[in-house]
Structure 1
């Protein structure tokens, strides 16, 4: 790889921050909208700024402002003040750092120099993810213990029981993937999945190791404390669990940390099993060789998608009274999206007709791959939300039985079979 390029480093950090921390308000919005859809009701649709609701996204902004300006109540009975204060930050930082090693695109080539598209371009990215994802549970344990509250302590105990349950199965599911990929470097793992099996089937991890993918996804739900494995914060049983005594931005760090952890978990699932940034049947070499044709197809598809979105937006707002301030939203947003589409079309036309050059081609391919990666991550986040509002909560002893009696034996058997196949076939 070439010497570090300041601009590439800055862009990688900004992209990773945007997809993780910046995605938290979007995920809160998705959570509410999908919950409303599944429960056959409206999601957030009242909060607005001058009639502009952004389909309920303004509600997420209002919630963030509420947490920022809410009174930071500190219970008087708490003795471990330092630990009580640091616990939410510990969860937040660990979740944020796990996302930093995700490869956002293939190696970027500028002026003959090669740069990894990772905020933290380290070779042991998978081990980094496992380390910090495992450490994040300590913030939950410390927060529950330092709160000096029986409900919080019960939540911490459940979190510790949860870790004992899923960690072994999760690690063994990854062992079989490492046997196949032969590397812990996430960029190499994503690049491996750009191949085609038998010239037709993308060599994604879910195709090569479907059982490992299933085990890892189940255990990833437990690691992120998402339903049906959110027993550490069971509202119907232990109030709020480990964060019962937290308020304002201390609670906000726990809250945002959970969504960042969900983003990081979705990103690692996508990277390991769903091709990462790879576009099916369009490798990096193919995209670089046919970039003009690819951009031409995007120019044709973009206005169609814009028209479909505007039609959907109008159907969503048809029930609003014309005198309601929110009725102006369709009028303004229609023109905004049309304007954005026109600008993008002109930019793409200029790129196609004017020629991109070697650096321009590399940057265009990287942009397409970053967009593909983001779409896959948000699709996986949708699965997380879908499962949360579909399945009931497990008891923690049920999770232990599932992990130790079902997932662990399956993961062990999968490792043995994978090793035999790889050695036998000489891969």
Structure 2
């Protein structure tokens, strides 16, 4: 029974991070772009007193796509491909998240449980396979739409994915040589130590060049700015999804955010220690679980205090409209109530003890929380870059892929192999 529950929990976490967070990411992207462009962003849509800083707007947009008429232009020649293309993009982007480890192997009653949605032996190869397949949805969508803009977008996408998947694969080879395994859990556990006694053994410090190459290629693979040439609104109207509407268009957008989520999770896993807390591996957390819980008891109320204070400062009433202040009061009470419940629960754990299974489960929960913090920070980098860096020209994109990234990735493989052989 415990194994079934753990499998369900892993699947739920993967589904939430890959798809369920799409409204949150849409809202986050709008708010960040508004901040960078010195404007408010969405802040009007509400349900009663609740605006949630504009988050309700994202749910309103989602409902609009669900109930909007699904119109298929009459000039579409390959309607089956036109219909199935967004499904391919969505499914491939969603399935790339299936092998991401959220925590170390969880042992309950002596039985090991892998903290992945779909435990398998393919590891990083699973990600490469589905990341490469997702481009077929873009190609089919652009080709079948019967639009010159869609066709140009699909051609750009195919050329882009060939260019950058080669460099990404070569960067991954360097990481496989360094870690000695294709399994992502093994890769994360290999980053649990320290270098020179204080530098975490994260991939970003072991393989900085491979990290830069992989992150750049991940931006290109997800068709995010500055590599969104397949869409190119200023040149191709909307590129491969110009002719799409309603939920077909929505699936393309959800697929883009799912790909961004999967790439963020993999970057964290390969280069930023994954679920590992700096200077604390799984065994050290379990050995010092009471001190870790005590630290959480101290830090959590401080976080809630500063967050609610910031929320109150930025949600002052406008004129006679007191809805913002009412929302702030309700949310403040809710956050502090959750905080008190969690702190009381943690204090009870300290007083009564956890037992072997309790220590292992608590360690897994802490590691999942660590992974989520790193994941959201990397997702913020995606949004930050989109609203900071200008789109590359098409020739610049190809030159960067073939003349810069691939030669550097090959050089990195040679240097890595020499260091590993000499080290042995």
- TM value normalised by structure 1: 0.97
Distance 2:186 2:26 in 1: 32
Q: Would the alpha carbon gap of residues 151 and 343 (structure 1) be closer, same or farther in structure 2, given more than 3 Å must change?
A: same
Q: Which residue of 1 aligns with 2:115?
A: 117
Q: Which residue of 1 aligns with 2:418?
A: 420
Distance 2:317 2:239 in 1: 40
Q: Which residue of 1 aligns with 2:231?
A: 233
Matches within 5 A, 1:98-113: 98-113=96-111
Partner of residue 336 from structure 1, selected from 326, 334, 337: 334
Q: Which residue of 1 aligns with 2:159?
A: 161
Q: Which residue of 2 aligns with 1:210?
A: 208
Distance 2:327 2:123 in 1: 44
Q: Which residue of 2 aligns with 1:35?
A: 33
Distance 1:342 1:250 in 2: 43
Partner of residue 261 from structure 1, selected from 259, 262, 265: 259
Q: In the alignment, is residue 223 of structure 1 matched against residue 221 of structure 2?
A: yes
Q: Which residue of 2 aligns with 1:45?
A: 43
Matches within 5 A, 1:13-412: 13-318=11-316, 320-412=318-410
Partner of 1:233: helix, strand, or coil? coil
- Structure 1 position 26, deviation (Å): 1.2
- TM value normalised by structure 2: 0.98
Given that 2:317 and 2:325 are in contact with CA atoms closer than 8 Å, whether structure 1 keeps it comes out as no
Distance 2:295 2:324 in 1: 35
Partner of 2:105: helix, strand, or coil? strand
- Structure 1 position 18, deviation (Å): 1.3
Residue deviations 1:107-160 (CA, integer Å, cap 9, x gap): 001011111100111121200000000000000000001101111101001101
Given that 1:321 and 1:327 are in contact with CA atoms closer than 8 Å, whether structure 2 keeps it comes out as no
Deviates more, 1:344-353 or 1:248-257: 344-353
State the number of aligned residues. Answer: 424
- Structure 1 position 201, deviation (Å): 1.6
Residue deviations 1:142-186 (CA, integer Å, cap 9, x gap): 000110111110100110111122111111111111110011001
Residue deviations 1:218-267 (CA, integer Å, cap 9, x gap): 01100000000001001111101000010000000000000000000001
Deviates more, 1:243-252 or 1:34-43: 34-43
Partner of 1:114: helix, strand, or coil? strand
Given that 2:142 and 2:240 are in contact with CA atoms closer than 8 Å, whether structure 1 keeps it comes out as yes
Given that 1:19 and 1:374 are in contact with CA atoms closer than 8 Å, whether structure 2 keeps it comes out as no
Q: Which residue of 1 aligns with 2:4?
A: 6
Pairwise CA RMSD:
1.2
Distance 2:282 2:325 in 1: 45
Residue deviations 1:191-229 (CA, integer Å, cap 9, x gap): 111122233221110010000000000011000000000
Given that 1:156 and 1:242 are in contact with CA atoms closer than 8 Å, whether structure 2 keeps it comes out as yes
- Structure 1 position 188, deviation (Å): 0.6
Given that 2:317 and 2:324 are in contact with CA atoms closer than 8 Å, whether structure 1 keeps it comes out as no
- Structure 1 position 47, deviation (Å): 0.6
Residue deviations 1:351-374 (CA, integer Å, cap 9, x gap): 111111111111111011111111
- Structure 1 position 77, deviation (Å): 1.1
- Structure 1 position 387, deviation (Å): 0.5
Partner of 1:109: helix, strand, or coil? strand
Distance 1:78 1:180 in 2: 49
Task: Extract unaligned runs of 5+ from structure 2.
Answer: none
- Structure 1 position 322, deviation (Å): 4.6
Deviates more, 1:190-199 or 1:174-183: 190-199
Distance 1:74 1:219 in 2: 33
Partner of 2:114: helix, strand, or coil? strand
Given that 2:225 and 2:385 are in contact with CA atoms closer than 8 Å, whether structure 1 keeps it comes out as yes
